[in-house]
Amino acid sequence: MASVEVSLKEMMTAVEGALGAAVVDYTSGMALGTLGGGKDLDLTIAAAGNTDVIRAKVRTMEQLGLNSQIQDVLITLGDQYHLIRLVAGRNGNGLFLYLVLDKSRSNPAMARHQLKRVEEQLEV
């Protein structure tokens, strides 16, 4: 099992083109930890904003009566991918992994695979 700090390091080193990573509590919108980012990528603001994305999707699924779980959400920007993966299991209820990738240097399919692996090892 891996801590938040270890998980963040794994996300940043195992995924080519990673620019920033966070573990976020979407019940509060607070980042439990961040790594990377910078003046053009404030991961604290991004964590709060993406909390709204997850809440909206969960609410929509409930209204539609869908009995399924969100695995991940991919947002494609002009020069970046933003990948959000919900943490499954009893230890991760209400958490998601957030990873920002440089679009020109990354493979979103491989990033999804790596985030799944990190998610399975995360213990909070």
Q: Which tens digits make up the pLDDT trace of 11-41?
A: 999 999 999 999 999 989 999 999 999 888 9
Mean pLDDT of 65-76: 93
Alpha carbon 107 to its chain centroid, in Å, reads: 15
What pTM was estimated for this model as a whole? Answer: 0.92
**What are the Cα distances from residue 76, in Å, to 7, 61, 81, 100?**
23, 21, 5, 10
What is the model's pLDDT at position 97? 96
Place of tokens 């609410």: 59
How confident is the model over 1-17, as pLDDT tens digits? Answer: 689 999 999 999 999 99
Contacts of the segment 28-35: beta carbons below 8 A, 24+ positions apart: 32/4, 32/95, 32/124, 33/4, 33/5, 33/8, 34/8, 35/8, 35/9, 35/11
How confident is the model over 77-99, as pLDDT tens digits? Answer: 999 999 999 998 656 678 999 99
What is the model's pLDDT at position 89? 67
Taking each helix axis as running N to C, give the angle between helix 108-121 and helix 4-14, from 0 to 180 degrees, rounded to the nearest 10.
160
Mean pLDDT of 95-121: 95
